[in-house]
């Protein structure tokens, strides 16, 4: 997931991390079901090769760094890292997985939005439950982030990044208006105070998130997850036409009606120009979005602050998630245990979480790493926020990050949404009517797709 690309990314109440990660890393005598996963001893790895496919150049640089460390542990293993275009990587592995597995890599990066393509029928990845349990790493990662790659009770991937979202706001302007944002704990409280800063072509939030798909669907997915819901229920059914979904969509509807959120959509330089002019003075999103803001509006350095997102309904949490990429072991790998050792080194050690952060600039989802010094050092991005320790904020938020559940049909949600989005935008449908129509359309699309298969 490239930090500068929303398409690749498409993506608190303090919880004591000690309680979240009990005894993580201490070996256990047996794995799930009483069967201990086989370990590959260095002496048995002579002449073996691991192949890893990635689609993001920063990820390749990170894995190249891990490769050098892995050599010290497995000097006779050759690790080959292949950088491929994202769609080509997915298409190639889909073909391989349906034709016997010849030519498959041992390890592969899969963007979370592409994962549903692989989970209908026989899933071509190795379940990691036994490996995680044998090394007592089951609780090491943020559970919300790991839900991205969990089907049933089987976990197939290890997430690279937290993508935990926060509220970002122009502290200078809110302070000047006498508004202490830190005291506003709910969206209702924030909205009521923020209205004081709304004026002619002056809004609080932009209408879109820099993506060209329009903002409503992206924002809706962010808000419904914050409210404790999701497009997909835990048992794989459509779940967005729900109280949580209605809360999310109505909030956006009222913001646009009251001028809190812009109704217009902008992209590229024009989008960031509105931030520079003070037309937009707040936003919400993960760390990679903040990187975009700092890179595209550098003249606003020192004027912004970040806080947990205000709360909404009774099940809401102070963050949401947006995007993700998981590292997976191919079920066709002939060196699964070696692949796990590489994966564990790359994804599940605090030192390499810091190394990834330094290379890729994405805060990790590994809970055991959040207090690492390297995640709290000053950078151009912390300076942009007046020296605020963003690592401390994201470390608290990732611990309570909400789930994003997966289903093979999840990409069809966009098709159903798009069918009615113009009627909704024109005011011909209420939020409740819109969600019902999208729900009905999605269920029809699922039936048609199942029949065609």
The CA distance from 412 to 415, in Å, is 5
User: What is the topology classification, in CATH, of domain 166-317+408-452?
Assistant: D-Maltodextrin-Binding Protein; domain 2 (3.40.190)
List pLDDT tens digits, range 303-334.
999 999 999 999 999 999 999 999 999 999 99
* Lowest mean pLDDT across 22-26, 238-242, 443-447: 22-26
List pLDDT tens digits, range 339-359.
999 999 999 999 999 999 999
Of 210 and 39, more confident: 210
The CA distance from 330 to 430, in Å, is 45
HSE-up of 20 (CA within 13 Å, CB side)?
22
Provide the sign of the torsion angle of the four alpha carbons 145, 146, 150, 153, taken in this order. Answer: negative
pLDDT surpasses 90 at 22: no
List, in order, residues 6 or more apart from 183 with CB less than 8 Å away.
none
pLDDT surpasses 90 at 115: yes
Q: What share of the chain has pLDDT > 90, as a percent?
A: 85
Closest listed residue to residue 437, CA positions, set 420, 425, 422:
420
List, in order, residues 6 or more apart from 100 with CB less than 8 Å away.
none
Of 143 and 215, more confident: 143
pLDDT at 44: 58
pLDDT at 337: 98
Domains 6-163+322-375 and 166-317+408-452 agree in fold: yes
pLDDT at 36: 42
Q: What share of the chain has pLDDT > 70, as a percent?
A: 89
CA distances from residue 258 to 194, 216, 444 in whole angstroms, order as listed: 11, 16, 35
The CA distance from 363 to 391, in Å, is 7
Average pLDDT rounded to a whole number, residues 367-377: 96
pLDDT at 45: 64
Average pLDDT rounded to a whole number, residues 113-141: 97
* Lowest mean pLDDT across 21-35, 186-200, 419-433: 21-35
pLDDT at 33: 36
Residue written as token pair 């993700």: 324
Average pLDDT rounded to a whole number, residues 45-62: 92
Provide the sign of the torsion angle of the four alpha carbons 251, 15, 364, 339, taken in this order. Answer: negative
pLDDT surpasses 60 at 247: yes
Average pLDDT rounded to a whole number, residues 44-64: 91
Closest listed residue to residue 259, CA positions, set 201, 208, 309, 193:
201
pLDDT surpasses 70 at 28: no
pLDDT surpasses 50 at 191: yes
Mean pLDDT of the chain: 90
pTM for the whole thing? 0.87
* Lowest mean pLDDT across 19-33, 73-87, 132-146, 198-212: 19-33
Q: Looking at domain 6-163+322-375, which of 3.40.640.10, 3.40.50.300, 3.40.190.10, 3.30.300.30 is its CATH number?
A: 3.40.190.10
List, in order, residues 6 or more apart from 208 with CB less than 8 Å away.
214, 215, 218, 265, 266, 267, 271
344: part of which helix (H) or strand (E)?
helix 336-347
pLDDT at 123: 97
List pLDDT tens digits, range 287-303.
999 899 999 999 999 99
Domain ranges of the chain: 6-163+322-375, 166-317+408-452
The CA distance from 37 to 338, in Å, is 12
The CA distance from 90 to 330, in Å, is 13
pLDDT at 35: 39
pLDDT at 24: 34
Of 385 and 213, more confident: 385
The CA distance from 241 to 80, in Å, is 46
Average pLDDT rounded to a whole number, residues 58-83: 97
The CA distance from 362 to 59, in Å, is 11
pLDDT surpasses 50 at 3: no
pLDDT at 388: 96
The CA distance from 340 to 354, in Å, is 20
The CA distance from 121 to 289, in Å, is 35
Beta 78-83 vs 49-54: how paired, if at all?
parallel
């Amino acid at each position: 997931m490239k930090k500068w690309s929303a398409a690749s990314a498409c993506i608190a109440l303090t919880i004591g991390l000690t309680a979240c990660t009990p005894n993580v890393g201490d070996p256990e005598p047996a794995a799930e079901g009483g069967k201990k996963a086989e370990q590959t001893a260095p002496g048995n790895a002579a002449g073996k090769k691991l192949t890893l496919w990635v689609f993001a150049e920063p990820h390749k640089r990170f894995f190249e760094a891990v490769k050098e460390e892995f050599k010290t542990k497995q000097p006779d293993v050759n690790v080959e890292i292949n950088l491929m275009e994202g769609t080509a990587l997915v298409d190639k592995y889909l073909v391989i997985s349906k034709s016997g597995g010849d030519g498959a890599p041992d390890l592969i990066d899969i963007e979370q939005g592409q994962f549903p393509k692989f989970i209908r029928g026989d899933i071509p990845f190795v379940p990691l439950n036994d490996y995680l349990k044998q090394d007592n790493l089951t609780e090491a990662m943020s559970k919300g982030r790991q839900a991205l790659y969990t089907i049933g009770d089987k976990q197939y991937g290890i997430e690279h990044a937290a993508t935990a979202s926060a509220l970002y706001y122009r502290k200078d302007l809110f302070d000047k208006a006498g508004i202490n944002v830190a005291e506003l704990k709910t969206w209702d409280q924030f909205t009521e105070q923020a209205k004081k800063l709304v004026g002619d072509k002056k809004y609080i939030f932009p209408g879109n998130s820099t993506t060209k798909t329009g903002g409503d669907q992206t924002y809706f997915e962010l808000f419904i997850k914050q409210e404790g819901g999701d497009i997909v229920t835990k048992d794989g059914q459509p779940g967005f036409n729900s109280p949580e979904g209605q809360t999310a969509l109505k909030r956006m509807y009222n913001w646009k009606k009251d001028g809190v959120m812009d109704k217009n959509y902008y992209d590229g330089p024009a989008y960031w120009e509105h931030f520079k002019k003070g037309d937009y003075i707040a936003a919400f999103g993960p760390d990679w979005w903040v990187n975009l803001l700092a890179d595209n509006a550098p003249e606003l350095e020192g004027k912004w602050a970040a806080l947990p997102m205000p709360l909404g309904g009774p099940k809401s949490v102070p963050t949401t998630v947006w995007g993700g990429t998981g590292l997976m072991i191919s079920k066709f790998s002939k060196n699964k245990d070696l692949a796990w050792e590489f994966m564990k080194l790359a994804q599940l050690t605090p030192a390499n979480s810091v190394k990834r952060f330094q290379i890729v600039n994405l805060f990790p989802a590994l809970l055991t790493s959040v207090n690492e010094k390297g995640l709290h050092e000053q950078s151009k991005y912390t300076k942009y926020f007046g020296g605020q320790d963003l690592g401390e904020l994201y470390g608290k938020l990732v611990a309570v990050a909400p789930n994003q559940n997966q289903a093979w049909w999840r990409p069809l949600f966009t098709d159903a949404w798009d069918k009615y989005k113009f009627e909704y935008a024109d005011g011909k449908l209420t939020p409740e009517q819109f969600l019902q129509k999208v729900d009905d359309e999605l269920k029809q699309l699922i039936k048609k797709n199942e029949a065609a298969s």
